[in-house]
Amino acid sequence: MEISALQKFRYAYKPKLPVGLSRGITEIALESGAPTESVSDQGELRELFKYTYGKPLVTFVPGKNDQIQKKLTVGVILSGGQAPGGHNVIAGLFDGLKKGNADSKLYGFLGGPSGLTDNKAREITADFLDQYRNTGGFDMIGSGRTKIERPEQFAAALETAKKLNLDAVVIIGGDDSNTNAALLAEYFLSRGSAVQVIGCPKTIDGDLKNRYVEASFGFDTAVKTYSELIGNIERDAASAKKYWHFVRLMGRSASHIALECALQTQPNICLISEEVEANRFSLGRIVDQICDSVVKRAENKENFGVVLIPEGVVEFIPEMKQLIAELNEVIAVNAETFGRLEGFEAQSAWFAGILSPGSRALFQSLPGEIAKQLLMDRDPHGNVQVSRIETEKLLISMVEKKLSELKAAGTYPGSFSALGHFFGYEGRCAFPSNFDANYCYALGFSAFVLIASGLTGYLASVRNLTAPAEQWIAGGVPLSMMMNLERRKGSQKPVIKKALVDLEGSPFKALAAARETWAVKTSFVFPGAIQYFGPPEVCDEPTKTLRLEHRG
């Protein structure tokens, strides 16, 4: 297989390990803290996780570890959407296993969690792994979104573990995937099985984090990739001086990506879904905010600009949230009738007689293409797939209409031409930044140490991430500690709580302090491409979000 020059050099990159993991393999011991509690619903979760609830936080410290050299057989799963660095988690896990005992084995389950339930696996060897070190993507073993939730799936997972003589399973995924890891760990113990389960925090959305999980892997690379593209667009806008660019970015439930990209590139407008919901900003209020910037910049003869939009913001706008909830409910209850309707016109007419007056009026006022997107196929939970809703086009259409009214009234002196963009898949499989390459490798190595030390129901944790990699602090966090109960499919389910943008946090406050200036004055910053070679302050720099959070 032909490879690029960069790929060749990335294969050879040696990730940096925290000092707690780089000492002699038998000198990595565990220090345990006090018992932990879940973030909420402690009584109910204590009952649900009888075997794994309340375990202590652990940190790796100097000391003797007699268990770490035992022969182990471990399976690893990539779960959910791709995120840069997944291959390095597997590399760190593999290298840890082999340093502990050269006879240890690592199996990769193919296609995600279904590989575990269906016993589809391949052994990961050194030659095979070396083709994927420090590269993006999940193509080494593939991924999938299967949830292990039915009794027969749990039983099949245990049967596969027995057939392969597994000592442990490592699940690399986001909040839902690691909720699965917690349930699987509990199930194995409840059936008298010694098979351990360890999770690793992955999601480019950045919403799997807390005090002990400072960042989910892939976020650093993704936001740097998107910020390069946004910076390129900003430079083009400042050069052509005739377009407003509306850029929709990944992030359904949380706006961490949009916030970080705004801090890196300083656009004219950046919407934050959590702020929209907290202040109950209407669609009209958002359009007015954008138009105000357009008008003021036109007065300065700058008929160009950049607007950043989280893909999930449409679900946080009160009247849109109500409309989407009604559409989801109506389609779920009347699935057969809806399925028989042919064409958008028939569907629209049918909804007109069912929706509440306010939702009906809003639905009928939407541009046709947007209204159609709201009726597209639902996700497995029966919800609208917001990634398919072209919110940037909705806002462009509404801004154009408002500016036409202002032009007619003589209060808008400029011209408005807009272009829409969606940056999503462009960031999911990029070559991981040095930060993510190091972080993921440390997470994988940490997962090995947790397994070798006999722990289960833990998430690998690496902290102090604004320091050089050698000064990072590695350990493990009990998965039950991050749990709460949420209503899913009509009943209360244990899930890892998503971390949303904190409106009282330093990163959002930094945006809020600057955005009035950015809205009017061209303040663009051009981050450029991710750098892999050069001084650490260029190549190993963490995100602005992390640095601001550490400053407090």
By annotation, the residues acting in catalysis are 205
Residue (of 539, 518, 520, 521) closest to 530 by Cα position? 539
Q: Which are the contacts of 13, defined by CB distance < 8 A and separation ≥ 6?
A: 133, 134, 434, 437, 532
Residue 462 · residue 446 · CB < 8 Å: yes
Query: To which H or E segment does residue 78 belong?
Result: strand 73-78
Residue 57 · residue 476 · CB < 8 Å: yes
Residue (of 178, 171, 190) closest to 75 by Cα position? 171
Both tokens of 274, joined, read: 């959590």
Residue matched to tokens 């070559």: 431
Helices of type H across 141-282: 151-163, 175-190, 219-240, 256-265, 273-278
Largest CA distance in the chain: 80
Report how far apart the first and last C-alpha atoms of the chain are (Å, whole number).
Answer: 48
Measured in degrees and rounded to the nearest 5, phi and psi for residue 310 equal -65, 140
Residue (of 237, 155, 144, 145) closest to 188 by Cα position? 155
Residue 428 · residue 82 · CB < 8 Å: yes
Residue 75 · residue 107 · CB < 8 Å: yes
* Half-sphere exposure of residue 144: CA atoms within 13 angstroms, side-chain side: 19
Neighbours of 14 (CB within 10 A): 10
Residue 117 · residue 461 · CB < 8 Å: no
Helices of type H across 353-488: 357-365, 368-374, 391-408, 434-452
Q: Can you say whether the dihedral through the CA atoms of 121, 124, 125, 127 is positive or negative?
A: positive
Neighbours of 413 (CB within 10 A): 12
Residue matched to tokens 């989407």: 324
CA distance 329 to 326: 5
Q: What is the DSSP letter of 360?
A: H
Answer left, alpha or beta for residue 343, where phi above 0 means left and psi between -120 and 50 means alpha.
left
Q: How many helices (H) and strands (E) does the chain have?
A: 22, 15
Amino acid sitting at position 443: L
Pairing of strands 73-78, 168-173: parallel
Q: Is 201 helix (H, G, I), strand (E, B) or coil?
A: strand
Question: For the purposes of burial, counting CB atoms within 10 Å of the CB of 120, is it exposed (0-12), middle (13-18) or buried (19 or more)?
Answer: middle
Pairing of strands 105-109, 196-201: unpaired
